[in-house]
Amino acid sequence: MHRMTHMAGQHYVVRLTADDGYTAQRSYSVSSAPSDPLVELFVERLDNGEVSTFLADVVRPGDELQVRGPIGGWFVWDGVSPAVGVGGGTGVVPLVAMARLARDLGSTGQLKLAVSGRNLPELPYADELAAAGATIALTRVPHGERPAGRLTAADSHARCLNRARPPMSVAPPGSRSSPACCSSASGCQCWTSEWSASARAADEFRSPTV
């Protein structure tokens, strides 16, 4: 089967079909860079999940899955344009793909990340995000010199923008920089509130993917 190269920020739909014809499908973000010969999807196992429990407990290497994708053209990054990425919980996964793309292209100065989670063990790819220079806010426990608490719009802007280095700087709202947020609806509204609606891309989710 010919595989279409994905863009950082896209996702795939995984579909399962039971013997009686019943089907269930869920969308999962791609964490691998476009140059990776394999497609890496992040699956959070939820106890009552129809799809996630099958993928986590039943699927074995060599099994074939029905997938559709890559999908999505709004929440993507080309690896060239200056961008600020903000994500919370499993919403950090597409940002990991962007960080890996930046590393492959040698354009890490073009991407600034700010992410949030309850604690480090529950934050996907925490070590890799830290290595990529992401600002990390934890809501349940302190992290470094930062007390426990949510990532705010002012915090994400200050920490990301102050670390930008010319000539590859992340410019303020109204410039050509592109802010992208992948989190809950309230999280996206909070963290990107200082950016104009026409200048930002938000991938909001309202319930867990199971």
Write the CATH number for 90.
3.40.50.80
Residues 152 and 194 in one domain: yes
122-131 long-range CB contacts below 8 Å, 24 or more apart? 122/89, 123/89, 123/92, 124/31, 124/42, 124/44, 124/89, 124/90, 124/92, 124/93, 124/96, 125/31, 125/42, 125/92, 125/93, 125/96, 128/96, 128/99, 129/92, 129/95, 129/96, 129/99
Q: pTM, whole model, 2 decimals?
A: 0.78
Residues 138 and 106 in one domain: yes
**Which residues constitute the domain of residue 26?**
11-71
Ordered per-residue pLDDT tens for the chain, 210 residues: 567 899 999 999 999 999 999 999 999 999 999 999 999 999 999 999 999 999 999 999 999 999 999 999 888 999 998 888 888 999 999 999 999 999 999 999 999 999 999 999 999 999 999 999 998 999 999 998 889 998 877 665 655 554 443 323 333 334 444 545 554 445 455 444 554 444 445 454 444 444
The pLDDT of residue 35 is 95
